[in-house]
Amino acid sequence: MINIGVSPLRISLIGGGTDFRSYFEKNTGGVISFTIDKYVYVITKRKYDKKIKLSYSLNENPKSVNSIKHNLIRNIFKYYNIKGDIEFVSLADIHSNGTGLGSSSAFTLASLNSLNLLLKKPVLNKKELADLACYIEIKKNKSPIGIQDQFACSYGGINFFNFKKNITRVRRLDFEVDELRYLNKVLLLYNTNIYRSANSILINHKENISKNKNLDYLKYLYDETLLLKENLLNKNLDYIIKSLNTSWYLKKKFNPETTNKIINNIIQKGFDNGAKGAKLLGAGKGGFVLFYVNSNKVKSFKKLMGEKNFLQYNFDFKGSHSQEIL
């Protein structure tokens, strides 16, 4: 019997940064994001010799849980009180080296889903799964991150997440098939081919919040997130252009470490070649840029920017889930 946990990657349109608990415990945060059909998969099964075997970007055969090198796996196993008798395999449609697509949280969610099946735990609903992933990543693993990725990847689809103290509200944003087709055409994922660890940037982000430094930029970001939500509900899809540009401007103002000369040049080249809106996804300094390009210019834009640099995707609406296979 094998147990498969699957979680989609996510694209954040606006609001990232307001999802840090240290921020929304005193203020209100909000994020609008959507998930795509690129996934992280975790497979678990019992092991014939009762030992531990791990396979991700590395292979491990640790003698005990405490000697597991992968921090997240070690903390997840400790949470479930796993001592041995397990084979754990992680696969992904896109590598997890700093892409800005929420791969770390997708990995956590997929792991939890797979292990819940293996250990015959009660099925968790979307919120319970997201809350548990936040607990594992932030409380146990001490990752310097917010909570948007766990909720986005757990729920799937296009959503507005509202964060205030201990309450997270989820508003699904529904669109017709032709509207989704339009968004999928004009929102282009460009791979910068720069991969980095986000920890130093995120630590700086947390420090800014704790010192009340540049917080007005996050408050403006939340206000713009609300404006985008209202425009999307009213089917004014092109308002995304303004939101992307405002988001990128405020992101750089709040934490200048998010960008560098190479990223700035890529985004400027995109505007020079016809993009109307752009922002770097994730913490910064690498990964994917999200461009908004008018539908009649998509073909020429891709040619000018290099076809091979674009990731083709569709929307995901299922979110994180699991399956048991004999």
Give the pLDDT mean for 40-51: 96
Burial of 303 (0-12, 13-18, 19+ CB in 10 A): exposed
Comparing C-alpha atoms, which of 106, 142, 109, 145 is closest to residue 124?
109
Task: Read off the pLDDT of residues 126-149 as tens digits, 9 standing for 90 and up.
Answer: 999 999 999 999 999 999 999 999
Higher pLDDT, 180 or 194: 180
Statement: residue 25 has pLDDT above 90: yes
Q: pLDDT tier at 96 (50, 70, 90 boundaries)?
A: confident
Task: Read off the pLDDT of residues 225-270 as tens digits, 9 standing for 90 and up.
Answer: 999 999 999 999 999 999 999 999 999 999 888 899 999 999 999 9
Alpha helices in the chain (DSSP H): 21-24, 71-79, 103-118, 126-134, 148-155, 177-186, 199-210, 215-233, 239-254, 261-272, 298-305
Task: Read off the pLDDT of residues 182-199 as tens digits, 9 standing for 90 and up.
Answer: 999 999 999 999 877 677
- What pLDDT was estimated at residue 218? 95
Report the chain's mean pLDDT, rounded to a whole number: 95
Cβ atoms of 19 and 161 within 8 Å: the answer is yes
CA end-to-end span of the chain: 5
Statement: residue 51 has pLDDT above 80: yes
Domain ranges of the chain: 2-174+317-325, 177-315
pTM of the model: 0.96
Q: Do domains 2-174+317-325 and 177-315 have the same CATH topology?
A: no
Domain 177-315 is in which class?
A: alpha beta
CATH topology of domain 2-174+317-325: Ribosomal Protein S5; domain 2 (3.30.230)
Q: pLDDT tier at 81 (50, 70, 90 boundaries)?
A: very high
Give the pLDDT mean for 24-35: 97
Q: pLDDT tier at 44 (50, 70, 90 boundaries)?
A: very high
Backbone angles phi, psi at 159, to 5 degrees: -140, 155
Task: Read off the pLDDT of residues 269-301 as tens digits, 9 standing for 90 and up.
Answer: 999 999 999 999 998 888 999 999 999 999 999
Classify residue 137 as left (phi > 0), alpha (psi -120 to 50) or beta.
alpha
Quick one: what percent of the chain has pLDDT higher than 90? 87
Question: Residue 220 and residue 222: Cα distance in Å, rounded?
Answer: 5
- What pLDDT was estimated at residue 203? 83
